[in-house]
Amino acid sequence: MNIYLLRHGQTQENRKGTYYGNLDISLNSIGINQGNKAKEFFNDIKFDIVYVSNKKRTLEMAKLALGRKEIEVINDSRINETNFGDFEGKTYEEIKKLYPKECICWQEDWKGFVPPNGESYVQLCERVKSFMEHIKNLEKENILISAHSGVIRAIYCYVMNENMDLFWKFGCKNGDISVIKYEFGNLYIDSIMHI
């Protein structure tokens, strides 16, 4: 099984450098160009199924990448980006000014800290684990997952024996494509590409 991971293209919030996992933002013109580049990459691949989060930026990216291909697209909230709660739409500098105590807690326990009205990275990884366990049981050859940087990093951690310590050891830029292979009961990262 080939599992293709596609990070959504750039949005205005990416340009501003905000935390915005739960905000429903569309791709900007650069993001649309990144989607068109992904289409060239995926041109000769026949997908059996496509998964997107319930945020429009991942659906927009998948549609651009697929072009005119008619493929079933499944919306799955388990691959939504981290919900940053009250931190949503703010830069790190703004969060430090508005939530100084919470910021210290976040620095001391980045995995377990829950932003006000949000979720922790541990919770994100549990969601992603549930999703990946589902994917492993599918009898498909090529799967496309259009998702977010936090989700893709969580998938890498899942592949690496569920080791969350590796979360920040991977880059994940807008429009990046990676390939996870599942063979003989073994998941491995085959390639990570910036297009």
Report the number of distinct structural domains present in the chain: 1
* Residue-wise pLDDT tens digits, 51-97: 999 999 999 999 999 998 889 999 999 999 999 999 999 999 999 99
Q: Is residue 116 part of a domain?
A: yes
Residue 176 lies in a domain: no
Global confidence as pTM: 0.95
Flag whether 56 is in a domain: no
- CA dist., res. 35 & res. 123, Å (int): 29
Q: Is residue 111 part of a domain?
A: yes
Could you report the per-residue pLDDT of 98-151, keeping only the tens digit for each? 999 999 999 999 999 999 999 999 999 999 999 999 999 999 999 999 999 999
φ and ψ of 113, to 5 deg? -65, 135
